[in-house]
Structure 1
């Protein structure tokens, strides 16, 4: 595991106090998620200033269309594509609220970013959102020509928080079904475990950073209850990837964690478990920052650092667009 600088050991007290304004108990996610959705869209602002193309992919059972937003970089430098699954606890977030973050990611990496607008809980609990993400990944990996790609390996799966969870689950399911696999996946501070009660969680970061910061243990528990109401049903690899019996033959994986994040330890533990199963893994902890930092303004230091890490990891081996380098 690498890190950009030695950890501070504890959050900045002024910033921590500010973040408490957005933490439980001010919010009860089981009641307030519609308000959070509206606030996120308002915070994102108008998306007309970004270079986007909106497409749809038909669900497997043809019951609905799955919106996919194609985010174009200011200058495309690489031919591979990032297939992005947004965070928000499987309950909030969408392609509108994540357009600024995806635009920044596209510009910083010189790659096209495709954002999946999967169905949200509690209106559509598990496995609805997961099935939407799996369907989009399956279609594009089977037919990379739809993206003007020559090979499925040019599609990189990426997600943050709940989207990191969905990314990991999609890769597990693709392998189980014998479907085409991406060569790489990027998991940004992912949820990988089913229990976030500080009294029973096996992870110290839940106890250290589970109250008073950007994301609380109570909020995660509420999100998971909305996503899958059955506590017993949450004990499965497609919700808690760390429970998977077989983690072999997974894509090369970049795990990025945040120092002051209750999900930090479980995300890093998943990276170590993938590595133990024989996969190529890099674990990068961004010190001095908090859960959800991908959605900070693109000039914020943690976001700049994240983009540097992603570019470095994708590296010179990434397919290049002829004549653009």
Structure 2
């Protein structure tokens, strides 16, 4: 999973097959409710997993559901706080239950999945504020979810969830006080412009059509999440716009080779490193966007879990409480 300067072109046969799963057929601005229902159906019944459902109250009184995934064998007291992907519009704790359960079993840690409010019903900053609220409560209150060691908290998110984890860490650094010890960003969205004509990133043009995630879909997601184009130039929406992202948690960034978000994720890793943070960057060869949600025994998922475990096994360079 080493970064490379450029990936090979997608095999034409593979591209044709993958095109069946791409979303140009969908108008995400109109069809997002259908996609939500389909995701829940595909996840199947969630009762077979070892979980506990809890909630944390937002500042506006809304109860934010949090699902705790208990590993088959818990070998570590620290916890992973997970923000799911889905373009800030789709996805929830049910559709991500198989992936979070696999992550808990693979790491031997409790995984806490946050069911933050989604756009367009709740545009930015509502979902972000839900994630920030849960993180601050867990860092400040050791008994909030009965975790053994909430002070050693790792934020983890994929795609839009990686964006939210990055934004939460940026905001926490601004506020001062306790910080997560680590963050794991899986193929994160970190930029505001995904138009192939204007994006500064080649991966948008190379992989923005015909694959698992399309540039058109990402632009629809962004329009639903942040309807005002000017408001998208906010570092809490596009972390790459942060002027000096110092005092961030030790960070693992994992990108997917055949993903339009690849270059912006890797640019964020480099910007964090340039600001003096501890950063590890991995590129999953031949992987598509969203590969975390493949079955737990798929080779890309097994490699991902191995990389995450290796990262978590390395002592954080700075204690969270002293950041």
- Shorter-chain-normalised TM-score: which range? over 0.9
**Correspondence 1:34 to 2:30:** no
Partner of 1:295: 293
* In the alignment, structure 1 residue 55 sits paired with structure 2 residue 54: yes
Q: For the residues of structure 2 that align with 1:163 and 1:8, how far apart are their CA atoms?
A: 25
Q: Quick one: which of 240, 243, 246 aligns to 1:242?
A: 240
Asked if the contact 1:138/1:179 (under 8 Å) is kept, the reply is: no
Q: Secondary structure at the match of 2:81?
A: strand
Note the alpha carbon deviations across 1:130-165, whole angstroms, 9 max, x for none. 00000000000111343343462x110000000000
Alignment partner of 1:3: what SS? Answer: coil
Q: Secondary structure at the match of 2:229?
A: coil
Count of matched residue positions in the alignment of Structure 1 and Structure 2: 315
In 2, Cα distance between equivalents of 1:31 and 1:130 = 23
Instruction: List alignment gaps of at least 5 residues for structure 1.
Output: 319-325
**Runs of 4+ with deviation above 4 angstroms:** 4-8
Instruction: Give the TM-score normalised by structure 1.
Output: 0.94
Deviations 1:86-113 (A, max 9, x none): 0000000000000000000001111100
Distance, in Å, in 1 between the alignment partners of 2:288 and 2:10 is 9
The Cα of 1:17 is off from its aligned counterpart by 1.7
**What's the CA shift string for 1:51-96, capped at 9, x where partnerless?**
000000000122x100000001110011110000000000000000
Residue segments in structure 2 that go unaligned for 5+ positions in a row: 317-323
> What SS is found at the alignment partner of 1:246?
coil
Alpha-carbon spacing, 1:317–1:145, altered in 2? closer, same or farther (3 Å): farther
Distance 1:316-1:177 versus aligned 2 partners, 3 A rule:
closer
Cα contact 1:7–1:288 (8 A) shared by 2: no
The match for 2:184 is 186
Indicate the SS of the match to 2:119. coil
What is the distance in 1 between the residues matched to 2:4 and 2:199? 27
Question: Secondary structure of 1:149's match?
Answer: coil
Matched, 1:77 2:75: yes
Which residue is equivalent to 1:157?
155
CA drift of 1:180 comes to 1.2
Mapped partners of 1:316, 1:247: distance in 2 = 22
Distance of aligned partners of 1:197 and 1:6 in 2 relative to their CA distance in 1, 3 Å threshold: closer
**Alignment partner of 1:131 out of 129, 132, 150:** 129
| RMSD over equivalenced CA pairs, Å | 1.6
